[in-house]
Amino acid sequence: MSKIFVDACLRKETPYTPVWMMRQAGRYLPEYMEVRAQAGNFLNLCHDPEKACEVTIQPLDIVGVDAAILFSDILVIPDEMGMDLEFIKGFGPKFHDPIKTEEDLDRLIGGEEAANKLTYVYETIKLLKQKLPEDKALIGFTGAPWTLATYMIEGQGTKTYNLCKKMMYSNPEFLHKILRKVTDVVKHYMIKQIEAGADVVQIFDSWASAIEVSKYDEFSWKYMVEIADYIKEKYPEIPVIMFPKGVAAFIERDLVYGNFDVFGVDWGTPMALAKEKLGSKYVLQGNMEPCRLYSKEATTQCVEGIQSIMQGEGHIFNLGHGILPDVPVENAKHFVSECQRVSKK
């Protein structure tokens, strides 16, 4: 049976435009909160394939999306490379031993050896393959090397990125050494997710916009393209989605290139601009401003607007970044059904 989401990624004819939401498994769902409470904490949940599988499937049943995204986190990668990760309630992720010196980096496990430690992720994917309905696709994912490096250097989320940017301008060779090591792990990690059963993979560069346009290719995009090339060489039929957040100026200046299938458009980038610059080359995913989910009216208006721009083009509906924890479930359902309604052929 064909999967509508995979077909849309490959620009094949579909009965309507498929839809999913970034961060669709999460705190806005009471059913998620229940399973997370049973697990004790967020990382335990990531490490438990049965429970991770259960929360991955919840948004399919509850809000009716067309694809499932593996429940995990981008930060399990540096965790398994040997960094000490904790998710602190009310604070967020924290690495207690951020990278400051060459020795700190050399201590970390690299390449396939690090990717081999993420067995619980592959186990979750294998379980999902047994449990997901045949017509629903499973999306695997990773963080982009740059986005992962920001947490590995800063030790936590940041507003200013001062430690990694200090490195970018005063010791770029060392930043490249970190990015190289992470890229080599991610390449193996992506292949192993695909071999476990992921139908599609997405690379999240959530903090792309922290880099000035003239430096974006050098410190982030080229590593993402290298990962996509590696995947496409081994598994050309597996769609690859790139999601660099906040890169309107990068698109505007025709700086996007690479061998991948779908470009994820963030909510700050006008869909019409993305269509003009990228629509002939890549299927576009996105891009409703996530806060529109607080109002059904604002949601419908935006979905209709996106549909009028993307009608007849390669398109997948999504938000332009993750859903927020206090969005009413009913409004998320409304978004999904509106996307399916306005695009029905």
* Residues known to be catalytic: 23, 27, 36, 73, 151
Whole-number Å distance between alpha carbons of 194 and 200: 8
Whole-number Å distance between alpha carbons of 76 and 323: 21
Exposure class string for 296-316: b at 16+ Cβ within 10 A, else e: beebbebbeebbebbeeebbb
Contact pattern for ligand 1CP over residues 192 through 231, marking x by CB under 6 A? ------------x-x-------------------------
Structure tokens at 227: 């990962």
Q: Which stretch binds ligand 1CP (CB under 6 A): 2-10, 24-32, 181-189, 214-222?
A: 24-32
Residue 23 among known ligand-binding residues: yes
Whole-number Å distance between alpha carbons of 161 and 209: 11
CA 181-193-203 angle, 5° bins: 60
Closer to ligand 1CP by CB, 34 or 276: give it: 34
**Nearest distance, CB of residue 189 and ligand 1CP, angstroms:** 14
Q: Work out which of 11, 27, 94, 222 binds ligand 1CP, going by CB under 6 A.
A: 27
Closer to ligand 1CP by CB, 123 or 313: give it: 123
Whole-number Å distance between alpha carbons of 262 and 241: 5
Q: Does 18 bind ligand 1CP (CB under 6 A)?
A: no
> Please, are residues 138 and 129 in contact by the beta-carbon 8 Å criterion?
yes
Contact pattern for ligand 1CP over residues 294 through 323, marking x by CB under 6 A? ----------------------------x-
Residues that bind ligand 1CP (CB under 6 A): 22-27, 36, 42, 69, 71, 73-75, 87, 92-93, 141, 143, 157, 204, 206, 322
